[in-house]
Amino acid sequence: MNLAGKKILLGVSGGIAVYKSCELLRLLQKKGAEVRVCMTEAATEFVAPLTFASLSKCPVYLKNGAVEARPFQHIDFPRWADLYLVVPATANVIGKFACGIADDPVSLCFMSCTCPRVIAPAMNVAMYNSPAVKRNLEVLRGFESTTVLESPAGELACGEVGQGRLMEPAEIVEWLEANSPECHPGCEASGNHTVRTGTCKNGKYCAPAVPVGKDVPPTQDKTLPGYGKKVLLTAGRTEEAIDPVRYISNRSSGKTAVALASVFYANGFEVEVVAGPMEAAFPGGVKVTRVRSARDMHDAVMERLDQADAVVHCAAVADYRPAHAADAKIKDSRSQLTIELVPNPNILRDCTAARASRTGKEASRSQNAGASRNQNSSPKHQVIVGFALETDHFKEHAAEKLVKSGADALLLNAPVASDSGFGHDCVRYTLVRPGMDVPEMKMGGKVDLAQEIVGFVIDKLRV
């Protein structure tokens, strides 16, 4: 859809994601669209109507009205619009839409709207997965000229992880530009879970169907890019015993690994995690094996390595361990204590070495058998991604570590800011690839970091 000159009615319902609707409005205007806004009473408690009125240069349609308001806004606004966009759509307004209840501006406009409607859900994962919301979304998908956008999996405002996040404003705009919301629900491509394009039997451009929380696990959705693929992740930190009560460890919370597991799973991968101690919790559908020490993690990873299509080493593994752990608690005598340390196994390097050995053996067997060198007979390609946490000389250290590791890529991150890194939702990072200059680091959410890694893995597996 060419947004230039389009008249878009933006329906805003109450939720923490309301602030993103302000950004969406500006992005739509930059594309040349004219935007008007209607709001539920709950939405006004998150962002003042004056904000939207100032941005849109038009009075906002509110339940209590305004001096400038006309008496038939619930008819005039939808009739004026070429598209009705509801962002965010809470469980409450979704239920109203599905059941034909119209007692606030957003639901009134939905009821009287005759133009195409696009809905972007946003709510807690428990609400999103509730039977009532699933049923209501299924009902809306059956409405003519109505599209329900994807609610991505990831970290939510409440700190939980799962589906329910609002699609990012830039992604909504990109979706609108790439697709026509005029497509009817009975088109040839309806019912698919993944983004795609096509043409309806009636010749109209078909809007891609997107994941909307149907009762089909992503790992069983053949249209997702990770279908039939397995990813092995390491997560958390390791603890190296000094005695039965003391240990050497670090500050890793495991949040990045949870974001990775969520995004891989949402893209159809079978996800298995070898996790050391950590605070963050993994979403359902992810298989987790718990370990404590670096050697335990090493053994668990090597045992599962051959079954994985991709391996991402996200855990903060202790480089050293005490040479000897005391059987009993070391008594506090206030005398000087010296602890001899020995290096732990390097899990990342051992994985790339095992891959190289396995690939060489498979290639040798193929040649000995006289197999033709085509895609079907070539050794299975396994993608391996490592992590590098640095606090100084970032690019030099990361480039050196990538070469030594033998990995396909290295995620360089630096938790040096007070509001990023360990325990926070944001981090400075960049993805380092062999033979390429190290890109500048950027500040982003850990889900954004995860999406970049997952995209890289998907592209490598396609080669």
User: Which active-site residues does the annotation give?
Assistant: 158
Q: Which residues contact 434 (CB under 8 A, 6 or more apart)?
A: 402, 403, 408, 409
Locus of tokens 């752990």: 325
Q: What whole-number distance in Å separates Cα of residue 32 and Cα of residue 287? A: 47
Q: What whole-number distance in Å separates Cα of residue 83 and Cα of residue 102? A: 19
Residue 412 Cα distances to 135, 329, 400, 439, 453, angstroms: 43, 38, 12, 10, 11
Classify 153 as helix, strand or coil. Answer: strand
- CA 324 to chain CA centroid, nearest Å: 42
What six digits make up the tokens of 43? 């939405």
Q: What whole-number distance in Å separates Cα of residue 73 and Cα of residue 76? A: 5
Task: Tell me phi and psi for residue 294, to 5 degrees.
Answer: -65, -40
Q: What whole-number distance in Å separates Cα of residue 122 and Cα of residue 88? A: 6
Classify 312 as helix, strand or coil. Answer: strand
Query: What dihedral do alpha carbons 241, 246, 252, 253 form, nearest 10°?
Result: 120
Q: Which residues contact 435 (CB under 8 A, 6 or more apart)?
A: none
* 310-313/383-389 β-pairing: parallel
Q: What DSSP state is assigned to residue 52?
A: H
Q: What whole-number distance in Å separates Cα of residue 438 and Cα of residue 395? A: 6
Contact yes or no for 410/399 (Cβ under 8 A): no
